[in-house]
Amino acid sequence: MSDISDFSETEEFSENEKQKKFFQKKKSKNSTLSQNYTTDKSEMLSKNSSMRSVDSALEVNGKLSIQKTGTFASTKNSVTKKGSQDDHMLVGNEFKSFKNLYSTPKLNEEGKPSPTPSPNSRVTDCVMSPPKFFLSHIYHDNKVFTKKYGHSIVEYENEFFIYGGINSKNEYLDEFLTFTYGLNTFTSKKSIVNPGKRAYSSMTLTYNINNNPCLLLFGGLCGPNVLAKDCYMYDFMEDTWSKYTYKLESIPGTRYGHSYTFCSRTYTTVIWGGLNRNNELLNTGHKFINGEWSEIKHKGICPSGRVFSSMVWLDRVTKENVNYTFLYVFGGDTTNKGTPTDELWVYNFNHENWTMVKNSSGETPCPRWKHGAVIIDKNMWISGGLCSGWFSNYSIPDLYVYDIPSNCWFNCQIASKQIHNCYDYGTLNLHSETRAFFLFGGKNANNDPTSNVCRFAPLCTNVSIVTMRNEIKRFSNYVLEVKKESEETANNVSEMQKIIHTFSLDIKDFKILFEALTRSIQMLKENIENVDREVALLKQKLSVDEKKEEDAKKGPAVSAEPLPKEPVAEGDVKANESAKAEGQ
């Protein structure tokens, strides 16, 4: 099964049929950019080739359209260049054509099925050219984002995070900046813990031990010929940097100038190649997932060691619902002395093997290094870089796209004088919502550091009927799921309403009981107050009675002083005296 075609909407040929190229092509010279790298390629099909049934398809993209028809199935007698049977092949010897996007044959103007071509007719496959891009510049005061190159950039939730680099004075930087898209503002971020000065390092998205999204900063230079040893993570939630420790046996060797990418779905990071502390070229790779590093295994051949190449990640699902994951590595310096290559290698995670893509169609970009790449759908875009000349290296302000299913290159023909970010700008950074990608800083055509910001925005987007149908199907399934969840929610709401009604009745009964209890408590309180008053009166009466009893027991009180004499009337005095006389 072809690694290139596995993920495209395709049909397989039988084992008795052989592959053919999409195009009878010829590579022309690419001006001075492709000196010594141009070859003429052609392929002749046998006149006795059998005819395969025609598949028709129509893709609409604004005013762009393409009609895809059947392909030849060449016989063993086909005259081909040696090794051409491996064209477009990454694993097996099978080849896939474009998938018929309709279940019914193509209709003519009268609404009737078009006749099947005769065996003598010629049928060819077609490929739609990529969309045109509009190049714009974002101007700023150069106070926050200054002239620099060799920095690392990654986009997360509408913000571009920029770290490190080298300024115009060749000083290594530890600056941490953000660029907010829409507001178009640069912001300097300060933190107590900082990874330190870094250049030519990798910065990707991953998850930390708390399952929070974060930045992973690995490798790079912290000074001339001084490699950084530590790996750091930046937690978006905590807004802090922290040194990340991991198992020594799983750590990749220190390196810089390596290519890197990550999966936007699982946040799996991959690094490959680069230079070690002895300035030796590396041809090994590692991936970082679930907080651990592991080496990328491969069977058979692999790319030679290289530095400053580009790498992108591609996830696709075949019509058999098989998930495939690929890495695409392009270009790079293969000697660390300015010897670039235009090789395109593909790594298949499912089969754990590397394959070099051969005999691609269209205008292949010239060999380069220190360029950037980004993937949009099934297209890999590369921009800029350095190319070796007769006397010196020169920058390449261009934009190419590689159509993966058709194995075809396109030169996007953007005015080179408008692209100020030529190389050493880190990576191409995709803004997923707008499908635009950005270039920050780097070096210009004069090899001077720059602070320019470029934005490539597509003027139109490729519209595929298959993609639209898949989107409609996914949307329909989503609607069905929402409807099912809504019904379940409605049932749950009905049950909740019943429970609430029951609770309401219980609350009403409880309210009645509570009111009765309140009245009973009030009456009891009043009775208690009455009893308290009666008890107080009884206590008072008892106290008085006790006092009287005590007084009665003691008797009348005797006074020590003589009692005052009461005045006696004169008649009483005379009577008393008469009584005394008689007694005598």
Same domain? For 368 and 223 the reply is yes
Q: What is the pLDDT of residue 568?
A: 53
Question: What angle (nearest 5°) sits at the alpha carbon of residue 426, between those of residues 425 and 431?
Answer: 95
29, 71, 65, 72: which is closest to 49 by C-alpha? 72
- The verdict on residue 576 lying in a domain is no
pLDDT tens-place string over residues 464-517: 556 677 778 888 988 998 988 888 888 888 889 899 988 888 898 888 998 999
What's the rounded mean pLDDT across residues 374-391?
90
Q: What is the pLDDT of residue 24?
A: 38
Asked if residue 131 has pLDDT above 50, the reply is: yes
Same domain? For 96 and 207 the reply is no
Asked if residue 39 has pLDDT above 60, the reply is: no
Same domain? For 238 and 122 the reply is no
Domains: count for the chain: 3
Same domain? For 381 and 501 the reply is no
Same domain? For 193 and 257 the reply is yes
> What domain range is 326 assigned to?
133-455
- The verdict on residue 550 lying in a domain is no
Rounded Cα gap, residues 95 and 74, in angstroms? 12
Report for 2-16, 107-121, 447-461: range of highest mean pLDDT: 447-461
- The verdict on residue 165 lying in a domain is yes
Rounded Cα gap, residues 257 and 173, in angstroms? 16
- The verdict on residue 519 lying in a domain is no
The whole-chain average pLDDT of the chain stands at 77
What's the rounded mean pLDDT across residues 553-561?
60
Q: Which residues pair with 344 in a beta bridge?
A: 330
Asked if residue 32 has pLDDT above 90, the reply is: no
Q: What is the pLDDT of residue 549?
A: 84
Quickly state the pLDDT bin for 580 (edges 50, 70, 90). low
**Among 128, 143, 165, residue at a domain's last position:** 128
- The verdict on residue 582 lying in a domain is no
Asked if residue 427 has pLDDT above 60, the reply is: yes
Same domain? For 401 and 438 the reply is yes
- The verdict on residue 335 lying in a domain is yes
- The verdict on residue 322 lying in a domain is yes
pLDDT tens-place string over residues 80-128: 333 333 333 333 333 333 333 223 344 444 444 455 555 666 776 676 7
What's the rounded mean pLDDT across residues 562-576?
57
Same domain? For 121 and 247 the reply is no
The secondary structure of 55-102, three-state, reads CCEEEEECCEEEEECCCEEECCCCECCCCHHHCCCCCCCCCEEECCCC
**Among 98, 128, 158, residue at a domain's last position:** 128
Q: What is the pLDDT of residue 33?
A: 37
Quickly state the pLDDT bin for 370 (edges 50, 70, 90). very high
Same domain? For 186 and 308 the reply is yes
- The verdict on residue 141 lying in a domain is yes
One-letter amino acid of 469: R
Asked if residue 246 has pLDDT above 60, the reply is: yes
Q: What is the pLDDT of residue 221?
A: 96
DSSP letters, 165-220, are -EETT--B---EEEEETTTTEEEE---SS---S-BS-EEEEEE-TTS-EEEEEE--
Asked if residue 387 has pLDDT above 60, the reply is: yes
Q: What is the pLDDT of residue 154?
A: 95
Q: What is the pLDDT of residue 248?
A: 55
Same domain? For 82 and 147 the reply is no
Same domain? For 489 and 380 the reply is no
Asked if residue 44 has pLDDT above 80, the reply is: no
Same domain? For 27 and 151 the reply is no
Give the domain CATH number at 314: 2.120.10.80
pLDDT > 90 in the chain, percent: 41
Asked if residue 171 has pLDDT above 70, the reply is: yes
pLDDT tens-place string over residues 289-330: 888 899 999 999 999 999 999 999 999 887 788 888 999 999
Q: What is the pLDDT of residue 416?
A: 61
Q: What is the pLDDT of residue 252?
A: 86
One-letter amino acid of 443: K
**Among 428, 455, 482, residue at a domain's last position:** 455
Quickly state the pLDDT bin for 332 (edges 50, 70, 90). very high
Same domain? For 160 and 96 the reply is no
284-297 b/e (C-beta count within 10 Å ≥ 16 → b):
bbbbbbeeebeebe
Rounded Cα gap, residues 286 and 271, in angstroms? 6
